[in-house]
Structure 1
Amino acid sequence: MRHQLHRYFHKRLNHLWVKPVGYDTGIKIYNCVAKEKVPLVVRNKDCSSWYTCGPTVYDSSHIGHASCYVKLDILQRLLRDYFKINLVTVMNITDIDDKIINKSIQTKTPISEITQHYEKEFWEDVESLDLMKPDLVLRVTEHIPMIEDFVLELLNKGAAFKDEDGSIVFNIKEYGKLQNVSKANTGPAYPNFTLWKASKDNETNWNIKYPNGRPGWHTECSALASSVFGSTLDFHAGGDDLRFPHHENEEAQCCAYFSKSQWVNYWVHTGHLMQKSTKMSKSLQNTMSIRTMLKSCDSNTFRMMCLMSHYRKNMEFTPEFVNSGEKHLENYRNFLTYCKSVIDGKLNICINGDVLTKLLINSKEEIHKALCDDFDTAYCVKVLNNLINVTYKMINASRENLNRDLQGMLSLINVTNFVKHTVSVFGFDLDQTSVVKEESKDFDQLINILTEFRQNIRLAGLEKKNENLLQLCDGVRNNLNRIGIIVKDHKDKSIWYK
């Protein structure tokens, strides 16, 4: 009875989601089986399992793939760096598939040449997007015997049967755990799917036991993931388009293989990348390669866009949203640079340290609550923006320039450290993302001279209420801003930063 009370059951139709036993992270995460947010419990905080469905390497990856992998990268970083969960991550590479075979036939190019080319390109894209590489990468063609053993075990258990053409087909008995599926939409019975495809005349034989052929797409991930993590997997991730039928079929196979009701404890699905409210996909021919995108939108801007949209929600890729991502990043960089100028003594201020400290504490609490609420990074961005804007106002409202306010300075340092730490957890290094220019000390001295001269003209304009002089000063400031030099005016002093 105690054991039953300790476990959490959620029933949907004939399916149960069972709350795992282990370390409660304090996070509530959406569960597609339970159809609601549930407690996130990992079996072992020091070694938690995460499997991501990798690419089918027959073509270039597009930015729809990028949005999925960047969002998953953000979640992994949060679990590792913020919640201190040690994830062991695995990804497969599908290097044998119908699409690859068809491309090989159409282009008269060997399969290995196609897959090696596009896998190399994929890892280059991973690096350009600043994604963490998986701890373990499993290529399908390197593990064919192990996948075959998985299929034959299902056949021996009576969970599969041999089809007329020699293929092995999974015999579906229960379906619709991850997504509601009506039998009325699928015929008199749920659609069986192929575990092992028998070879055709124009295909490669893998010289294995029975029969000659290759694994079905759904079976690849099931066999590979279970070969590493066994009968229970903490996280299994991919885009929302994989939830059905791919992940549905994976769960069905592994539950049958291990004779249990639940294989994956938490399925993690990211929303689609959209253009004009239409999903981006190769079949619709509305895709953009990652390399093309990075020519006009750098990787950090794209990451910021993913951060600004909840991982489960669809994201519209528009020039306006790209611009918004750029502005957010620039605002963070400018804020940190500006605060550094203040801390370095270029501008003496007097601010209410108690008020700023209270704001910082509230911001920390709000961000923690948001991250514990299904990783709501979009709300975290709003909290950071509010913290930055209020801090800006406090600095600019200061009228004390005679002595440095050390208590206020300490509060300001705490704010800047928190902002830097928070964005670093999301995968940003603002010191590296700023535009690097080849500049010498002479350049800095030149800007110092120009800024000081401009400030003297500005003060003269203010004293004599000369609008023409003030407009000229505004023009110099605006022109400097266009080349990345930010000038801020403060009573009797102006400061600049890059």
Structure 2
Amino acid sequence: MAASGEQNKGRRVQPAWSPPEGVQLPKLRLYNSLTRRKEEFIPQNGKQVLWYCCGPTVYDASHMGHARSYISFDILRRILLNYFKYDVFYCMNITDIDDKIIKRARQNYLFEQYKEKKNSPAQLLDDVQTALKPFTAKFNETTDLDKKQMLGRLKVAVDAAIGPLQETLQKGAADSDVVSKAKKLLDEAKDLLSDWLDHQNGSQVTDNSIFSILPKYWEAEYHKDMEALNVLPPDVLTRVSEYVPEIVDFVKKVMENGYGYVSNGSVYFDTVKFDASEKHSYAKLVPEAVGDQKALQEGEGDLSISADRLSEKRSPNDFALWKASKPGEPSWDSPWGKGRPGWHIECSAMAGSILGESMDIHGGGFDLRFPHHDNELAQSEAYFENDHWVRYFLHTGHLTIAGCKMSKSLKNFITIKEALSKHTARQLRLAFLMHSWKDTLDYSNNTMESAIQYEKFLNEFFLNVKDILRAPTDITGQFEKWEAPEIELNKSFYDKKASVHAALCDNIDTRSAMEEMRALVSQSNYYIAAKKNTKQNPNRMVLKSIATYLTDMLKIFGAINGTEQIGFPVGGSGETTDLEATVLPYLNVLSEFREGVRRIAREKKVTEVLQLCDALRDDILPELGVRFEDHEGLPTVVKLVDRETLLKERDEKKKVRMPRLSLKLSKAGPGP
């Protein structure tokens, strides 16, 4: 033992390794509408995420209320997929069988038939006046202010078109004049006549194909809108019309499990029996809404609200799983007779067919919580006999227009196409990113101006960094020595990255993430300006790292859709940095030539040549989407910017210059 001790004497003892203390990375937490709090996100199968999203009811143009949900869910989906690296399987439905669709399709069909008859102007006038009687009664009975204003405007427009036609018919005016006035009346009275024709002849429309034309058209328009908004398509798209057999089987199983009953050819869900079960509870999302008959009736649909239908239910809270079709409605065979699916059952049957007995995420708008999602939950848990059909319910917030609810009566109803005619898809997405996905978003001039300025702020930074990186240097010149400013900026860069990560972990808080990114750009701009003030070159590598990171984050958010390493695509739709690679070498040659000409012109005092150089910068190049920025003692900065932005900048500069020029001329006094 002593010998052994002598041998070890003087040796260093290997210290034990220990991890750094207090290091704990934030975990992703999502606001779960089921628990009404943020919960740690733990998918059922490791990194795989099963996600079902309620899609549109396709009977009209998609509007900004739809965009609120679909852009927001696209942002969340992209972040889970591309930032947190989950394997997201995304399923969405299309509702193409619905009371609204049935009524609108029937009315369109009957109105087109009416037009094809080519009734005489006198007959048209008589029909419109006849249709006005029930319409006026409906107008007088309507208590909803929104609907009353819409009906009132329609009545005023029809009344205004009736008078001229009556007058021309009484005068025996020329046929062309009569035809013109009749066409005007037909156009103004379309909705009124369609409703009247539907009440008269709607029950005679029996061909199922008539009810598929309208949803097919509007589904195609919806997909075009989503593509224009850069919303990723779902992995699986389900249509109610294609899942009727599965829906029938689903209803059968709910009944076998004891939670459904047949009444007069329809099948209803027994909410009382379900809620009394030890394993289940009804209305998990919004229990306080149970008994809200207005919400329940809206969930059943306009064509399904009648004294007969209401009397079929054991409880007023029960809802239709299968509706017996009335004359003038599409129908499919079932064990209970000819009928069609209820609204809520479609999502349960389709999601169950694709995702199985339990999904990780179910998404939809805030207004779908009750009764739609509560009824989905009830019937699905009745079918699967479980209490975990959905693990996390995500509901996007409402959208208001300049502080008001979107409404046709208020004339603030904005379709997606109308919004895209005013702002780009990126600007709309930036506006959504700058707000919480679960809170109300106000679509207003202020909101969009903030998004536009944010885009411009980022773009200028990207353009400046690309100009710095284009400065000629050999390969070793890329690696400048880091002094205190570079070390400070790099530390801030990593701090901001950590803050962005923490924000995204906190219920995917893109609003805070965007603010952290803005702060990082501000610090980088300050660093660049400080370097240029001291005639030093900014460090290329640290700026490249920051600009690349910001670009990558914007790609993850869906605000950049391209392969460029830094910045926004140049040149508009379909063009990316290839344009820069192709054009900039020639622009750099032009810039260097212009600098040489300007230097000689200043030395020789040839003002006309200097004016030509300024005109090239201020008037000619902006028309081509090129900006030259002159800085005293430094090379001209060359930037590719979209033409519209440059022309707007030019106009604003002229507005500022004109008063100054007028003041200068007034001080100079009259000429000789």
Fold equivalence (TM over 0.5): yes
1:336-415, aligned counterparts within 5 Å?
336-345=462-471, 352-399=485-532, 408-415=539-546
Deviation per CA, 1:161-206, whole angstroms, max 9, x where unpaired? 222x321111112333112425575599672111111111111221
Q: Distance in 2 between the 1:420 and 1:92 partners?
A: 32
SS across alignment from 1:265: strand
Mark the CA change 1:85 to 1:184 in structure 2 (over 3 Å): closer, same or farther.
closer
1:305–1:321 CA contact under 8 A, matched in 2: yes
In the aligned structure 2, how far is the partner of 1:325 from the partner of 1:340?
23
Question: CA 1:282/1:97 → structure 2, altered by over 3 Å: closer, same or farther?
Answer: farther
Aligned position for 2:118? none
The structural deviation recorded for 1:47 is 2.5
CA deviation vs aligned residue, 1:193-228 (integer Å, no higher than 9, x gap): 111111111112213333311111111001110111
Give the conservation status (yes or no) of the 8 Å contact 1:238–1:268: yes
Q: Is the 8 Å Cα contact of residues 370 and 376 (structure 1) preserved in structure 2?
A: yes
Q: Which moved more, 1:447-456 or 1:171-180?
A: 447-456
- Structure-1 separation of matches of 2:291 and 2:322: 27
Q: Where do 1:316-331 residues align within 5 Å?
A: 316-331=442-457
Partner of 1:256: 382
Identity %: 33
Q: Give the aligned partner of residue 102 of structure 2.
A: 101
Q: Report SS of the residue matched to 1:390.
A: helix
The letter of the residue matching 1:427 is G
Deviations 1:137-158 (A, max 9, x none): 1111111010111111112222
Look up the SS of the partner of 2:27 in the other structure. Answer: strand
Letter in 2 for 1:152: K
Supply the AA of the counterpart residue of 1:212.
K
| Cα 1:328/1:211, change in 2 over 3 Å | same
Offset of residue 478 of structure 1: 7.0
Distance 2:392 2:514 in 1: 25
* Residue of structure 1 in register with 2:557 after alignment: 426
Does the alignment pair 1:171 with 2:270? yes
What's the counterpart of residue 492 of structure 1?
634
Post-superposition shift, 1:278? Answer: 2.1
The aligned counterpart of 2:145 is none
How far is 1:126 from its partner? 1.3
Change (3 A) 1:82 1:490: farther
Question: C-alpha displacement at 1:471, in angstroms?
Answer: 13
* TM-score normalised over the length of structure 1: 0.84
Change (3 A) 1:274 1:233: same
> 1:5 — aligned with what?
none
Q: How does 1:92-491 map to 2 (within 5 A)?
A: 92-108=93-109, 110-163=210-263, 165-172=264-271, 173=275, 174-181=281-288, 191-280=317-406, 286-345=412-471, 352-399=485-532, 408-429=539-560, 431=564, 433-436=569-572, 445-450=589-594, 485=627, 487=629, 489=631, 491=633
Distance 2:596 2:35 in 1: 64
What's the secondary structure of 1:287's corresponding residue?
Answer: coil
Q: Work out whether residues 64 and 273 of structure 1, in 8 Å CA contact, stay in contact via their aligned partners in 2.
A: yes
Which secondary structure state, in structure 2, belongs to the residue aligned with residue 201 of structure 1?
coil
- In structure 1, the gaps of 5 or more residues are 1-23, 462-469
- Look up the equivalent residue of 1:306 and give its one-letter code: F
* SS of residue in 1 equivalent to 2:41: strand
Cα offset, 1:446, TM superposition: 4.1
Question: Contact 1:82–1:425 (CA<8 Å) still a contact in 2?
Answer: yes
- SS of 2:285's partner is coil
Letter paired with 2:267: I
* Secondary structure of the structure 2 residue equivalent to 1:369: helix
Report the AA paired with residue 86 of structure 2.
Answer: I
CA distance in structure 2 between the aligned counterparts of 1:69 and 1:178, rounded to whole angstroms? 21
Whole-angstrom distance in 1 between the partners of 2:456 and 2:626: 10
Task: Tell me the CA shift for residue 488 of structure 1.
Answer: 5.9
Contact in 2 for aligned 1:353/1:411 (Cα 8 Å): yes
Q: Distance in 2 between matches of 1:488 and 1:274?
A: 44
Q: TM-score, normalised by structure 2?
A: 0.63
Change (3 A) 1:80 1:283: farther
C-alpha distance in 2 between matches for 1:68 and 1:322: 18
User: Residues 241-287 of structure 1, C-alpha deviation per residue, up to 9 Å, x if partnerless?
Assistant: 11121111111111111112221001111112211322325687632
* Contact 2:396-2:437 at 8 Å conserved across structures: yes
Q: Deviations over 1:268-317 (max 9, x none)?
A: 11112211322325687632111121111111111111101110011111
Q: CA RMSD in A?
A: 3.3
* SS of equivalent residue, structure 2 residue 329: coil
**SS of 1:311 mapped into structure 2:** coil
Give the drift of 1:71: 0.8
Which AA in structure 2 matches 1:98?
A: D
8 Å contact from structure 2 (residues 52, 90) kept in 1: yes
Counterpart in the other structure of 1:33: 34
| Residue-pair matches, total | 464
Range with greater deviation from structure 2 (135-144 or 438-447): 438-447
CA contact (8 A) 1:46 1:86 kept: yes
The alpha-carbon distance between structure 1 residues 409 and 435, as it changes in their structure 2 partners (threshold 3 A), is: same
Give the corresponding residue for 2:65.
Answer: 64
Q: Which has the larger radius of gyration?
A: 2
State the AA in 2 paired with 1:161: Y
Q: Which residue of 2 aligns with 1:10?
A: none
> Whole-Å Cα distance in 1 between the matches of residues 406 and 216 of structure 2?
25
Give, in whole Å, the separation in 2 of the partners of 1:399 and 1:58: 58
| Structure 2 CA distance for aligned equivalents of residues 291 and 94 of structure 1 | 21
Moved more, 436-445 or 94-103: 436-445
Supply the AA of the counterpart residue of 1:358. Answer: K
Task: Measure how far apart 1:442 and its partner are.
Answer: 5.7
Inter-partner Cα distance in structure 1 for 2:330 and 2:40: 46
Q: Deviations over 1:353-398 (max 9, x none)?
A: 2111101110110000000000000111111111111101111111
Q: Which runs of 5+ in 2 are unaligned?
A: 1-24, 111-209, 276-280, 295-313, 641-672
Change (3 A) 1:125 1:448: farther
Provide the C-alpha distance between the structure 2 equivalents of 1:50 and 1:388, rounded to a whole number of angstroms: 35
Distance 1:382 1:373 in 2: 14
| Greater per-residue helix proportion | 2
Cα contact 1:49–1:88 (8 A) shared by 2: yes
- Cα gap change, 1:451/1:338 in structure 2, threshold over 3 Å: closer, same or farther? farther
* Pair 1:45 & 2:46 matched: yes
Q: Closer, same or farther in 2 for the Cα pair 1:161/1:435, shift >3 Å? A: same
How far, CA to CA, are the matches of 1:208 and 1:159 in structure 2?
A: 18
Cα gap change, 1:490 to 1:357, in 2 (>3 Å): farther
Q: What amino acid is the match of 2:256?
A: N
Structure 1 residue 81: Cα displacement: 0.5
8 Å CA contact retained: 1:277, 1:316: yes
